[in-house]
Chain A
Amino acid sequence: DTEVTQTPKHLVMGMTNKKSLKCEQHMGHRAMYWYKQKAKKPPELMFVYSYEKLSINESVPSRFSPECPNSSLLNLHLHALQPEDSALYLCASSPDQIWDGHSGANVLTFGAGSRLTVL
């Protein structure tokens, strides 16, 4: 199994709603990531979990709240979002969060994304 699965594929929500995006991988990867991607832009890193602990938070507003219940699951809880938060949210995983050029430990596998529209 070499997939990263994201649900839902599409989500439309109002600014007062609370919703969650879910991500699952069964490759035994120990690092998981949330990225945000706007149209015609590259993915922007939001959060990194390494061994189920939050290791990087790229100054993301608190209306986005990540959660890593176990090594296979990653959630992104959404509350009081703004229309400008509409984007493709990509989950990714890698074997580890080691930044060397040899082991391939930080090669990212992406899920298909959750396309979010905030009205």
Chain B
Amino acid sequence: RKEVEQDPGPFNVPEGATVAFNCTYSNSASQSFFWYRQDCRKEPKLLMSVYSSGNEDGRFTAQLNRASQYISLLIRDSKLSDSATYLCVVNGGSQGNLIFGKGTKLSVKP
């Protein structure tokens, strides 16, 4: 099982749609969880940290399920500007370093 796995997509959705991404991780000792967003040919930028109780930031909701070792990201009322690759990031390598998933590409269409 790979350390951090994501569905690569692409997810093609119309404006206004709700879309959900899942990510699974293999190291049960992991403690830090993030969603980063990366636009084409740009650097990754932090979208949200993911906390045990779940957290929401506007249209974005992140959930953590430690028992099943997965993280989710829900985007409501999708905007054209949400089109990007969403990277799931988890700590837990051999020295605790952050491990990136391969990313899920989202394309929001008019």
Q: Within 8 Å of chain A (Cβ to Cβ): is B108?
A: no
Is A101 a contact partner of B31 (Cβ separation < 8 A)? yes
Inter-subunit contact A45/B102 (CB<8 Å): no
Give the number of chain B interface residues (Cβ < 8 Å): 26
Task: Give the nearest-CB partner of A113 in chain B.
Answer: B43
Could you tell me the distance in whole angstroms from the C-beta of A25 to the nearest C-beta in chain B? 13
A106 near B102: Cβ-Cβ < 8 Å = no
For B33, the chain A residues whose CB sits under 8 A away are 101
- Decide yes or no whether A95 CB sits under 8 A from chain B: no
Contact with A along B93-107 (1 / 0, CB 8 A): 101111011110000
Question: Bound complex: CA of A56 vs CA of B97, how far in Å?
Answer: 9
Q: Does B34 contact A (CB under 8 A)?
A: yes
| A110 pairs with B103, CB closer than 8 A | no
B4 closest partner in A (C-beta): A42
Q: In the complex the two chains form, what is the Cα distance from A109 to B53 in whole Å?
A: 24
- Asked if B45 is at the interface (CB within 8 A of a chain A CB), the reply is yes
Task: Indicate whether A100 reaches chain B with its CB closer than 8 angstroms.
Answer: yes
Residue B44 interfacial (CB < 8 Å): yes
- Chain A nearest Cβ from B110, distance in angstroms: 25
**By the criterion CB–CB under 8 Å, are B100 and A43 in contact?**
yes
User: Is B51 within 8 A of A108, CB to CB?
Assistant: no
- Chain A residues with CB under 8 Å of B103's CB are 42
Give B21 Cβ to nearest chain A Cβ, in Å.
14
Q: Which residues of A contact B (CB under 8 A)?
A: 41-45, 48, 55-56, 88, 90, 97, 99-101, 104, 106-113
